[in-house]
Structure 1
Amino acid sequence: MSKHICTRWAFDLASWKPTLSQLSQAVALIQPEERVRLMKFHFIDDFLSSLIGRLLMRKYVSTCSGLELHQVKFARDVRGKPYWVREDINGPPLSFNASHQGNMVLLAGIIGEANDPDFGIGADVMKIEYSGGKSLAEFFRLMNRKFSAQEWKHICRVEHNEREQVKAFMRHWCLKEAYVKELGVGITVDLEKISFSVDTTHPLEEKVTPLVGTSLRCHDKPMDNWHFEEHLLQEEYCAAIAFRNCLPPDHGRFKFLRIEELLVTSPESELEEVQSYCRKALLKPYKRSQKNKE
C-alpha cells in the first residue's frame, strides 16, 4: 500500500472571540451559497464552527495547489460530501474531511499520486461527555443496536468507571463516524455490523502520538484496506481519522492553528453586504453552555 502525505489541523473556538473585521475577512472567502447555509444556524457557536471548517478546507486546498484562498471553490457530490472544484485535472488527487463539535474544529487531508486516485480519508471529533437526562445505563440500552457485542464488551468493562465508559463509547462512535464519512453515506449503514477493535497498547493521551493499532471488521470480514488513527486533542476531545486504501508515512499529532493563519485581507471584506451579514451573525446568541463557561 502506497504512502500518502497527511495533514492534520485543529482549531479551538475557545481561543477566538471574533471581531467584525476578522469575521468580515472570513466571510469574504466563502461562497454565496455557503453564506446562506451558515446564516440558518440559530446559535453563533454552530455558525462559527461551520465557518472555521470551511476556512480549514480552503487553507488545505490552497496549500496543496498554490491557489489563493479566494480562488478555491467547493461543491458537493451526490453523497453530500464537499469536494474541490478544480480546473487543473492533471494535479495530484486530494481527499480531505472536516469535523466539529463543541469548541473543536478539525481537518484531516491526504494527497496522493496522480496514478493512484482510489483512496480517501474521513475524520471526526467527539466531546468526551454524557449530558443526557437519562442514566448512562439507560442511554447505553437505547444505543445497544449501534454497536457490536465485542464493542459493548470493551465499553462496559468492569474495570471502567463511568468516565472511562463514556470515553470508550465516544472513541468507538468517533471511529464509526470517521469511517462512514469517508464512505459518504452518513449514519445510514448498519452500525452494529461495523465492529472496531480499539488499540489498547497504551492509554489514549493528549500530547503523545496517536493510537494506530485499531482494526475494523464489517459483517465479520476484516477490512484490511482501512487504517485508523485515534487522537486525544484535549482532555475532553477525542478524534479519529479513517484512511481507505492509503497509509500516511508517519502518524503525527494535530497542529492547532490560529485565526490569523486562516484569513487574508481583501477588498470584498469591506463591502457593505459582507459587513451587514457579519453584524447580523454577531447578534446570534451563544449556547447556554458557552455562556456558563464565560
Structure 2
Amino acid sequence: MVQHKCTRWAIDLASWHPTLPQLAQAVAVIQSEECERLMKFVFLDDFLSSLVGRLLMRKFVSAHSDVDYKDVRFARDARGKPYWLQAEDKCRKQLSFNVSHQGKFVLLAGISSETEMGAADAAPTTNTTSKVGVGVDVMKIEYSGGKNLADFFRIMKRKFSDSEWRYIRHPQHNEADQVKAFMRHWCLKEAYVKELGVGITVDLQKISFTVDTTRELDVVTSPLTGTTLRCNDLPENDFHFEEHLLQPKYCAAIAFKNYKPEFGKFEFLNIEQLLVATEKASDVEIVEYCRKALNKRRKA
C-alpha cells in the first residue's frame, strides 16, 4: 500500500529585507545554473521570490528524505519541471512538488509517496498505482492592467469556456466580484496546466472549471474542495482541486492528480526556517553575487 503525505507551505515576503549575510546563506545552497537563472531577473522582488521557491523545494525534499538540505540537487525534465536528483543507491521515494509566486507570496505544494514495507502482496488500486502529481498557483485579486476592465475582459474571454464566463460575468457580481471570480478561475487553470507541465500547449477554453459554490471563498472557510473540471467536455476524474484564500487579496489553487488529500490549510513559514549555516556563504564569489543582486531595483 502506498502512503501519501501532503505539504502546503506559504512564505509572506512583505517584511523580508535581506541583509548581505542572509542572502549569502540562501544563495550558498542553490546550484550554479539556478544562480544564473535568478540573476536574469530585472527586479529584486522577482529575484527573491524565485530564490525562496528554490529554498522551499530543498526544504521539502530534505524533510521527506535522508538528504541534508545543503546537498539536495535538482534537474529539469523534458517538460521543464524541476525534479529531485536521487542517488541511485537510495530508496526510491516519489516526491511530487510545485512552487508558485506572485506579489508577496511564495507557495509550495508537495506530495510524498512511499510504499509501506510488507505491502507487496496488497491488492493494488487505481489511486495507489497511478503516479500522483501536483500543481499550484497563487494570484493577487486585483486588476492593475493598462486597459480598462471591460477591454481586458473582452480580450481574455477567449481563454474561458462559456459556462466559466457566465459565472465570472454574472449579473449579480459587482466589479470586485467579477475580478475575484476571474482570478479564481485563472488560478485553477494555471495550477492544472502546471501539473501537466509547461512544455504542453493547452487550449484554455477547452479547460472548463465549475467552482465550488457551496460556501463563500474566504480566509476562514478555505480551502474549498468541491471544484470540478471538464476537459474537451469530458470529466477529469483523476484530478482533485483546492481553492484557498491566503489573505483577502490573495487566492491560491492546488491541482492534485490521482490523489485527494485530507482537509488542510497552508502552513506559513518564515525566512529563518529556510536558512542554514554553511561555510560556502562566505565565499568571495557568492558574496559578490549577492551584492550585485541587492543592487537590483524594487518594483514600484
**Bucket of the pairwise TM-score, normalised by the shorter protein:** over 0.9
Structure 2 residue 268 is matched with structure 1 residue 267: no
Report which stretch shifted further, 83-92 or 194-203: 83-92
> Per-residue displacement from partner, 1:42-69 (whole Å, max 9, x unpaired)?
1000000000000000000000002111
Match of residue 202, structure 2, among 189, 200, 218: 189
Q: Answer yes or no: is the 8 Å Cα contact 1:100–1:124 preserved in 2.
A: yes
Q: Answer yes or no: is the 8 Å Cα contact 1:205–1:232 preserved in 2.
A: yes
Secondary structure of the structure 1 residue equivalent to 2:114: coil
Match of residue 254, structure 1, among 266, 282, 287: 266
| Structure 1 residues not aligned, in runs of 5+ | 289-294
| Structure 2 residues not aligned, in runs of 5+ | 116-127
Q: How far apart are residue 110 of structure 1 and its match?
A: 0.5
Q: Answer yes or no: is the 8 Å Cα contact 1:180–1:186 preserved in 2.
A: no
Partner of 1:238: 251
Q: Answer yes or no: is the 8 Å Cα contact 1:102–1:127 preserved in 2.
A: yes
1:211-226 equivalences in 2 (<5 Å): 211-226=224-239
Partner of 1:126: 139
Q: Distance in 2 between matches of 1:26 and 1:285?
A: 19
Partner of 2:297: 285
Q: Distance in 2 between matches of 1:15 and 1:278?
A: 19
Secondary structure of the structure 1 residue equivalent to 2:171: coil
Partner of 2:119: none
| TM-score, normalised with respect to structure 2 | 0.92
Secondary structure of the structure 2 residue equivalent to 1:65: coil
Partner of 1:205: 218
Q: Distance in 2 between matches of 1:186 and 1:159?
A: 38
Aligned AA (1:240): A
> Per-residue displacement from partner, 1:40-99 (whole Å, max 9, x unpaired)?
111000000000000000000000002111110001000000000011553321100000
| Amino-acid identity (%) | 64
Q: Distance in 2 between matches of 1:263 and 1:26?
A: 6
Partner of 2:36: 36
Partner of 1:101: 102
Give the RMSD, CA atoms, in angstroms: 1.5
Q: How far apart are residue 137 of structure 1 and its match?
A: 1.3
Q: How far apart are residue 136 of structure 1 and its match?
A: 1.1
| TM-score, normalised with respect to structure 1 | 0.94
Secondary structure of the structure 2 residue equivalent to 1:14: coil
Q: Answer yes or no: is the 8 Å Cα contact 1:172–1:196 preserved in 2.
A: yes
Secondary structure of the structure 2 residue equivalent to 1:122: strand
Q: How far apart are residue 2 of structure 1 and its match?
A: 7.2
Structure 2 residue 192 is matched with structure 1 residue 179: yes
Partner of 2:64: 64
Moved over 4 A (4+): none
Aligned AA (1:216): L
Q: How far apart are residue 3 of structure 1 and its match?
A: 6.5
The number of residue pairs the alignment matches comes to: 287
Q: Distance in 1 between matches of 2:220 and 2:62?
A: 28
Change (3 A) 1:196 1:3: farther
Partner of 2:123: none
Aligned AA (1:7): T
Partner of 1:50: 50
Secondary structure of the structure 1 residue equivalent to 2:129: coil
Change (3 A) 1:90 1:116: farther
Q: Answer yes or no: is the 8 Å Cα contact 1:2–1:247 preserved in 2.
A: no
Q: Answer yes or no: is the 8 Å Cα contact 1:25–1:269 preserved in 2.
A: yes
Partner of 2:93: 92
Q: Answer yes or no: is the 8 Å Cα contact 1:209–1:251 preserved in 2.
A: no
Aligned AA (1:189): V
1:74-93 equivalences in 2 (<5 Å): 74-87=74-87, 88=89, 90-93=91-94
